[in-house]
Structure 1
Amino acid sequence: MPEPFAMKPALQFIVLSGAGWLLDFCLFWCAIVMLGLPPGPANVISATIAAMAVYLVSSRLVFGRSEASGKAMFIYLLYTEANIALWALAITVLAGLLAAMMAPIHAALVAKILVTPLSLTCNFLVTRFLVQRGRLAR
């Protein structure tokens, strides 16, 4: 039976996700500033790299899974891409709205920051579910 929501894993995941978010944000910034990509595609690239890194590390360190299940990782990758597409759309719309008030690059960065809390929450819940489901299947 899955454990009820526990604060320690949630806090560990937040700290680890914070590091992942910094990686994501740095890659996002490089993609829009240095490569000139629009916010949506930049987010797809940066968030995919960061989300998979956080999944691999958190499944071991936060959720105590010594091996990564290929099936769970594939499901997480599918979830990640759908999730990223949703957040990329949200970032694009928000950046468009904010561009009336600030430079487009700043609008994209602010939009990325605004969607982060919801994205982080979704990622924690899905990762926890997949890791616990994998434990139950053994």
Structure 2
Amino acid sequence: MKKLLKQGIAFVGISGIGWIMDFVIFNLLNLRSSYVAVNNMISSLVAVCFVFCVSTRKTFVQKDGGIPLKVKFVIYILYQIILILLVSQLLALIAAGLYHTFCGSIIGDFSAMAAKILVTPLTMCMNFLVMKLLIERI
């Protein structure tokens, strides 16, 4: 249990850095483009690559004799592409809903940013579980 807690804390830290990268890129893209879903796909893929590379070296212990790390990276990227596509659509819906509900207020003005913040805990938990399974069990 202690190992799991340490890994969780380390992953949250690494993912937090990835999330900041994602968040900054996402919001910079939103200044130029109103395509929230596309902007999220681009920013998320950059962050995903960072989190995978750092987590496999600093947080998780690769299973001996398992699938090579390069193959795990491809599997993780495929998982992330599916997740990003689904989350991007969800983000677009949440952002539109927030914008229409809070139009004229600060929440309405920053609806895409607020939507990104709302979905982050769910995606971070899912990513931790998938990464732990993929790196340490397979």
Q: Provide the TM-score with structure 2 as the length reference.
A: 0.87
Offset at residue 53 of structure 1 (A): 0.7
- Residue-by-residue CA offset, 1:113-138 (whole Å, 9 max, x unaligned): 0000000001111111110134xxxx
2:81 equivalent in structure 1 = 81
Aligned ranges 1:58-77 → 2 under 5 Å: 58-65=55-62, 69-77=69-77
Q: Deviations over 1:80-126 (max 9, x none)?
A: 00010111011000001001114665111100000000000011111
Does the 8 A contact of 2:37 with 2:88 survive in 1?
yes
> Of the candidates 118, 121, 134, which is equivalent to residue 117 of structure 1?
121
3-state SS in 2 of match to 1:63: coil
Moved over 3 A (4+): 102-105
- Does the C-alpha gap of structure 1 residues 85 and 5 become closer, same or farther in structure 2, counting only changes over 3 Å? farther
- 2:5 matched to which residue of 1? 7
Say if 2:51 is the partner of 1:54: yes
User: Within the alignment, does 1:99 sit opposite 2:60 as a pair?
Assistant: no
* Structure 1 residue 27, shift from structure 2 partner: 0.4
Correspondent of 2:38 among 38, 41, 45: 41
Tell me, yes or no, if the aligned pair for 1:32 and 1:105 is still in contact at 8 Å.
no
Q: Give the superposed CA RMSD.
A: 2.1
CA distance, structure 1, for counterparts of residue 103 and residue 83 of structure 2: 27
Instruction: Tell me, in whole angstroms, the C-alpha distance in 2 between the residues paired with 1:18 and 1:4.
Output: 21
Q: Deviation digits for residues 29-86 of structure 1, max 9, x if unmatched?
A: 01101x2241100000000110111011001100134xx7111000000000001011
CA distance in 2, matches of 1:15, 1:56: 14
What percent of counterpart residues are identical? 32
Alignment correspondent of 1:32: 30
Unpaired runs of at least 5, structure 1: none
Per the normalisation by structure 1, the TM-score is 0.87
Question: C-alpha separation between the residues in 2 aligned to 1:73 and 1:102?
Answer: 41
Q: Give the length in aligned residue pairs.
A: 130
